[in-house]
Amino acid sequence: MNKKPTLSPTKITTYLACPVKYMWSFVDARGKWFLRAKSYYSFGISLHQVLQRFHDEGDVGVQTKEEVLAALEENWLTAGYSSPEEATEALAEGRAVVSSYVDEFIARGPSTKTLFVEKRFEEDMGEFTLIGRIDRVDEHEDGTLEIIDYKTNPTKNTENIQARLSEVDVLNDIAMNCYQLLLRSKNPNRRILSTLVLLNTNHRITVEPRIEDLELFRTDLILLGKEILNRDYESVRPVVKDICKSCDFVSLCQRDEEFSESFKPFASYR
Is the pTM above the cut of 0.85?
A: yes
Q: Which residue has the higher pLDDT, 47 or 267?
A: 47
CA 100, CA 90: separation in Å to the nearest integer?
A: 15
pLDDT in tens, 218-266: 999 999 999 999 999 999 999 999 999 889 999 999 999 888 888 876 6
pLDDT in tens, 128-178: 999 999 999 999 999 999 999 999 865 555 455 555 678 999 999 999 999
CA 252, CA 238: separation in Å to the nearest integer?
A: 9
The one-letter amino acid at 175: A
Question: Pick from 233, 181, 178, 226: which is nearest to 5 by CA?
Answer: 226
Question: Pick from 37, 4, 239, 247: which is nearest to 131 by CA?
Answer: 4
Distances (CA, A) of 113 to 19, 27, 136: 40, 40, 11
